[in-house]
Amino acid sequence: MSDKLDKLIGGRYLVVRLLRQTHLCETFIAQDTQLPGNPLCVVKQLKPQSSEEFVLKTAQRLFDNEANVLYKLGSHAQIPRLLAHLQVGDQFYLVQEFIQGKDLSQEEIIPDNQQLWTEEKVRSFLLDVLKILAFVHKNNVIHRDIKPSNLIRRDDGKIVLIDFGAVKEITNMTLTEGQTNIDQTVVVGTPGYMPREQHLGKPRFNSDIYALGMTAINGITGFHPDQLPRDDETENIIWRDRAPQCSSQLADIIDKMVCANSSVKRYQNANEVLLALENPKPEDKTQKTSKKAVTSANTNPQKRTWKFWLGIIVTPIFIGAVIFSPRIWRAIQALNYYTEGNSLIQEGNAAVEKEKSNQKYEGAIIAFEKAIRIKPNFVQAWTNKGFAEGKLVRPLDKFASCAQATNVAPDFAEAWNCRGLARFDLQQYEAAMREYEQAIAVDPNFYRAWYNKGQAYLTMGQYQEAITATRRVLAIEPDYFWAWTQICQALYELEEYQDAQAHCQESLAINPQHQTTIDLLEKIDVKLQ
């Protein structure tokens, strides 16, 4: 990634900074050096994972087809224009209009201050995005990845729809060397926001309606869709109790948008939802009338007793407590559950009996889940839940929790490290390496990620690379005895016994009781005899 900074792509686009990175795609902010004023643009590099000729030719064909679609969609004022598409060697690049603004996940969805969306804001949001979708679907395109991070609110308040899933599909299609048939049903989308038919590789136009409805629920409740319960029979998400500010009219519309087990029962297109929003059914006024009658009966000025004046004094205090105390109380509750989870992990680590340890780890997971239910964006709780699941040898669960943590906070290095450890436990060593590298990109001084990267190299038999990575640990944390031992192990495998001995001795100088190092040193002494 860093080798592209300050360099030209295609002889024209000067990379300024990295915007987003995955192992399949890198997105940069760049300057167009061939236009007056060197305006900013977004350059997206798609990275096929195979250099096989057939795969690259197929990727080129798909890339050209999808670029033509994006050129056409860019005529809409709320979809970034595709400025160019080019191939440099075996790498493919899309150059798109730069949108000034922030994606919804950065400051609007589940913000730290817990200011949930009002009904008015949800309606405005839905109307804005549905009009974009109506245009997209009219052009026979399914977005396939609508979620908060793919919706940017411009400085003028309008929403812009970015990152069409078809481009991701091109990259996913080119993963396997030796392929002779490209699978056309690669699943593209984000768990929690995509419906059942999309999971099965059969997206429909109203799959986008489902994802948009889930995004609205995310904003109005403050909960990620995966954190909300579902009805056992219908599989529909249960959310109304967490959005008291939402009217039954709007809730009914959203429920129809996110109908889970039948796309037929869902709105079929964006125009149907627009019609429902713009022409709401009349509400039952009986309840409002009865409330008005009660109010009128109790406002006789001649009957204002001491109770009335006491109410005048006490009511503002009571209202203030209702408004402010729940928020503070919920934050305290979440922190208490998080602290409880951490304590249970420590008790599990200290327990001698495995059964007792496992009970403590299970208890920790429950405590972290309680914290997350209160504060879904509690990234540390997500991460430590993953570590507890790792203690119970559940690497898939561990990865899922830590992936959720990186979704909530992409700049939290510990979560990327946790993802790497889960990959390592699944024996996906190269994938683990990419996760560790992401942690290091977030925090170059995060020494545990350097150590884990070295461990992955060691496991793959790349001993010199293991030594190089692990030495970075010692440059940051010289007293981390595990690093001295890991270098000792790599040198032992390279049959450099004298140097290995010296490193093991350094480790024991820091921790004389470390049995793994003692055993390794004994093996080295045998070789040196």
Q: Classify 168 as helix, strand or coil.
A: helix
Q: Which helix (DSSP H) or strand (DSSP E) does residue 257 occupy? A: helix 248-257
Across the strands, what pairs with 8? Answer: 14
Provide the CA 61 distance to its chain's centre, in angstroms: 30
Write down the catalytic residue from 64, 90, 128, 145: 145
- Alpha helices, DSSP H only, in 351-446? 354-374, 379-391, 395-408, 413-425, 429-442
Q: How many residues does the chain have?
A: 529
* Both structure tokens of 402: 């830590």
* Both structure tokens of 21: 């990175």
Number of C-beta neighbours around residue 107 at 10 A: 12
* Both structure tokens of 37: 């004023």
**Is the distance from CB of 470 to CB of 490 less than 8 angstroms?**
yes
How far is residue 93's CA from residue 84's CA, in Å, rounded to a whole number?
A: 8
How far is residue 63's CA from residue 86's CA, in Å, rounded to a whole number?
A: 9
Tell me, yes or no, if 103 is annotated catalytic.
no
Q: How many helices (H) and strands (E) does the chain have?
A: 20, 9
Closest CA to 39 of 97, 103, 101: 97
The residue whose two tokens read 């995004």 is: 215
Which residues form the catalytic set? 145
